[in-house]
Amino acid sequence: MATTGTQSAKDGQYDVIIIGAGFGGASCAGLLARRGLRVLLTEKNAVAGGKAMSLSKNGFTYTAWVVIGAPVIDNYYQRMLDELDVAELATLAIPGTQGSIYKTPEGKYKLLPSMSSDGTDPNVLFEWLEIAEEERGPALQFFAEMTLMPADQVAQLSGTSLDAWIRSKNVPRPLYAFLVSLCCDGMFMVPVDSLDAAEAITSLQQMFTRGGGVFCEGGYGRVAEAYCEAVRRSGGQVLMSTRSERILVEDGRVTGVQTRAGTFEAPIVISNAGLQPTVLRLVGEEHFDKSYVNYVKELVPSYSLLGYRYFLSRPVTDRPYGVIFSNDSPWSLERFNLARRGEASREGVLYYEVPSNYDPNAAPEGKQLLMTGCFCPPDPDLSKQEIQAWADAGEQTLFSAFPELESAIESKELFTTRSVANATRDSALPGVGGETIGLGQVIGQCGAQKPSIKAPIGGLFYVGCDAGGTGVGTQQAIESGVNVAEAVYRYHHLRYATFGAD
């Protein structure tokens, strides 16, 4: 790989400043530093990883909340660890099984039979979901059509909702509920009737042909921490616990970043702080055309997850993760809005994760940590009552599926949309900031309509889940990191070739 730094840049300047060491920012910074650019990476938290940061407490290590990666085979997490030469710093864990639980129409909770995580046997699924014999042929045909659909056909489905596409295939309801609950409500965190079908099908194909359920020993944040180390090893600078307060702009071009540790100059700034916070807070809307500001304000975030971390006196399950769902779990826009107003049940899919079931060192001997997450709006300022109502709905589902769990609880911690916003992006608009993924992968915000990685200000780029990638959250953020690094590397050299020194 080429390593051509800019010799002409003034002392004390950087070629590029990256704000935020989430999966997007850290991977992008690592790649640019490896390619010889003079990189400064600033992160407001003490640890990297953003929405997938690692935590530890009383002998437990874990990702801050339920975070499950995909695909197993040929994923970006490992590809980047290898490319940045830091594979020894983060060890991915791929458990041999998962633990989804189907609540039957009769109210019985049925655990998915143990199944390899590097592929899915549809016959095992059909048996578990109690799909009638005569429905299995068409269901199998649906699986084949979905997993083998060529990319150009998938792309044509952009603009159609996943809900509309699956419904057109007459898929049995339990299979619909399983696909939406496991693969869509959690992977994309938007109601299925607003989810872009092309975006979803691409990830479902990956999941069913290349497996799902990837974790990292010590929590997912280790992956981003390793990417930060790659920046340092390549001569770049990483400033942790350093909030960027302002992106400086003169005559329509960025000139640097003002942080709590001082002001740093660079002709290129890449923001991992979220597109809306970048435009509306870090740069300021006065630097953009009104039409761009209006466009940015109209962008819709993904929804959020809130849940509990249960510290348990004894193990209650040997499964590493799963979803608990019923035929009625999938969220449509209408049902979600009714539930939000308290006019429909808040019972939806519940995610759970048990770190010590994929990494034995993640909990003290004989103990277990089980984390949950259930759908909720992205507002970091949800009222106490609303938080409690969503949390109670999730807890009720958990206790029904694991009746022995309640008596094993030694302590529990609630995480909310406020916890997510505090740990990651600032709230730049009312009701927004606690989203799990970033901008929602909804119709109108995917494919050709995905926001551009390039802001309409000279030298300003976005990286992370809001622009530049596709697919499931963490994977999407790294794909964006790779794509933005490539674009910025080209931009940097093209500017030098054309205009000389910045």
Binding residues for ligand FAD (CB under 6 A): 19-25, 42-45, 50-52, 65-69, 186, 243-244, 272-273, 305, 373, 420, 424-425, 436-438, 464-465, 472-475, 477
Q: Which residue number, 39 or 171, has a Cβ lying nearer to ligand FAD? A: 39
Q: How far is the CB of 8 from ligand FAD (least distance, A)?
A: 28
- Token code pair at residue 425: 């992006």
Amino acid at position 355, single letter: P
Smallest distance from the beta carbon of 427 to ligand FAD, in angstroms? Answer: 11
All residues at 6 or more sequence positions from 130 whose CB lies less than 8 Å from its CB, including other chains: 104, 174
Nearer to ligand FAD, 65 or 128 (CB): 65
Q: How far is the CB of 152 from ligand FAD (least distance, A)?
A: 26
Residue 267 is encoded by which pair of tokens?
């002709």
Residue 25 or 172 with smaller CB distance to ligand FAD: 25
Burial class (CB in 10 A: 0-12, 13-18, 19+), 250: exposed
Specify the residue, 6 or 61, whose C-beta has the smaller distance to ligand FAD: 61
Range list of H helices, 216-260: 221-233
By beta-carbon proximity to ligand FAD, the closer residue of 256 and 473 is: 473
Minimum distance from residue 15 beta carbon to ligand FAD (Å): 19
CA atoms within 13 A on the CB side of 411: 4
Tokens linked to 465: 């889940």
d(CA 28, CA 18): 8
Q: Which is nearer to ligand FAD, 324 or 420 (CB)?
A: 420
Q: How far is the CB of 413 from ligand FAD (least distance, A)?
A: 13
Which residues, 6 or more positions from 502, have their beta carbon under 8 angstroms from its beta carbon? 6, 8, 9, 267, 495, 496
Least gap, CB of 156 to ligand FAD (angstroms)? 26
Task: State the minimum distance, in angstroms, from the CB of residue 433 to ligand FAD.
Answer: 11
Residue 285 beta carbon to ligand FAD: minimum distance, rounded to whole angstroms: 16
The closest alpha carbon to 478, from 54, 25, 157, 12, belongs to 25
Q: Rounded to whole angstroms, how far apart are CA atoms 321 and 351?
A: 7
Instruction: Report which of 285, 283, 276 is spatially closest to residue 244, judged by C-alpha positions.
Output: 283
Strand duo 304-312 + 268-271: pairing? unpaired
Whole-number minimum distance, CB 418 to ligand FAD, in Å? 12
What's the closest the beta carbon of residue 266 comes to ligand FAD, in angstroms?
15
* CA angle in degrees (0–180, nearest 5) for 121-124-126: 105
Least distance (Å) between residue 80 CB and ligand FAD:
12
- CA dist 197 and 165 (Å) reads 7
Nearest residue (CB) to ligand FAD, 116 versus 419: 419
Neighbouring C-beta atoms of residue 83, cutoff 10 Å: 18
- Here the tokens at position 466 are 């809001």
- Closer residue to ligand FAD, CB minimum distance, 22 or 174: 22
| C-alpha span between 435 and 456 (Å, rounded) | 25
d(CA 62, CA 64): 6
Rounded Cα distance between 23 and 220, Å, is 10
- Nearest to ligand FAD by Cβ — which residue? 22
**If we measure between CA atoms, which residue out of 289, 263, 292 comes closest to residue 276?**
292
Please say which residue, 117 or 475, places its beta carbon nearer to ligand FAD.
475
DSSP-derived letter for residue 113 is P
Nearer to ligand FAD among residue 166 and residue 273 (C-beta)? 273
What angle do helix axes 221-233 and 76-83 make, rounded to 10 degrees?
20
If the CB atoms of residues 44 and 142 are measured against ligand FAD, the closer one turns out to be 44
